Amino acid sequence: MIVEQARAKLNLALHVRARRADGYHELVTLFAFVDHGDAVSVKASDAPAFAVSGDFADALVGEADNLVLRAEHAFCAVFGIAQTHAIHLEKRLPVASGIGGGSADAAATLRALARLHGIAADDARLWQIADDLGSDVPACLASTTVIGKGRGEKLQPIAGAPGTPVLLVNPGIAVSTGEIFRRWDGADGGALPSGPVIEVAMASRNDLYPPAREIAPAIGDSIAWLETMAGVRMVRMSGSGATCFALFDTADDCAAAHRRARAEHPDWWAVATQLV
């Protein structure tokens, strides 16, 4: 049995540059990952099997197609694997929430299968599969702090800030990524500044936040609430939402904010964690 953690992805910054003719958007984003996420378990089996459990399993139960299964099928096709697999997904992250849950699950599946079948982690074919599966999957395959360009798939390493306390909150809503991109105002967000990762993040923004807030005012409410917390360094929405996050000076400040979130907003999903 091979187990891989599918870490939640954060966009510490997300600047949209232009609409592309292929329907995607040119962007530059600062990806980081936290010590919390889904878990994917893979083992060889006599017959293909897929099971899902966890707090958000209901969103995937009964689905005949998902990114985990697409990743497994693509891996077997590219590497000529006839062996079938039993895959279990522990779904701890909300779906359609801007933190790369499905992309992270696909990436974790690829890493687990590569380990199971002796494929090198840097095999170019593995990374091409990730790119084919989705714009965020290559970053999730790396699962480390990187700058993403193009659709987000062209990765440039940058030194991270491991151990930085983070509070994630989601007001319990799912938003449409496509609709939010359609409402983007078309203004070129520009390049990211240079410097240490947290300074870059604080000097940047998420260009999808205004349209997301327009579609789902609860996102703005989450941001406003996080900004009132003691010891907070930076507050932002991740991806196209609806998950928002705050970086804190200390783990104690983060834990205190987490307790307040659970007391004041029991309907929110809230997790205290840290950057990796």
Q: Which of 9, 91, 207, 253 is catalytic?
A: 9
Which residues are 90's β-sheet partners? 39, 53
Q: Is 136 a catalytic residue?
A: yes
Q: Is 9 a catalytic residue?
A: yes
DSSP string, 209-235: HHHHHHH-HHHHHHHHHHHTSTTEEEE
Q: Closest Cα to residue 170, out of 229, 207, 225?
A: 225
Question: CA 77, CA 183: separation in Å to the nearest integer?
Answer: 38
Q: Which of 38, 91, 105, 136 is catalytic?
A: 136
Determine phi and psi for 269, rounding to 5 degrees. -90, 125
Question: CA 31, CA 47: separation in Å to the nearest integer?
Answer: 37
What residues have CB less than 8 Å from 167, skipping those under 6 apart? 226, 229, 245, 246, 248, 254, 257, 258, 261, 270, 271, 272, 273
Question: CA 181, CA 227: separation in Å to the nearest integer?
Answer: 25
Catalytic site residues? 9, 136
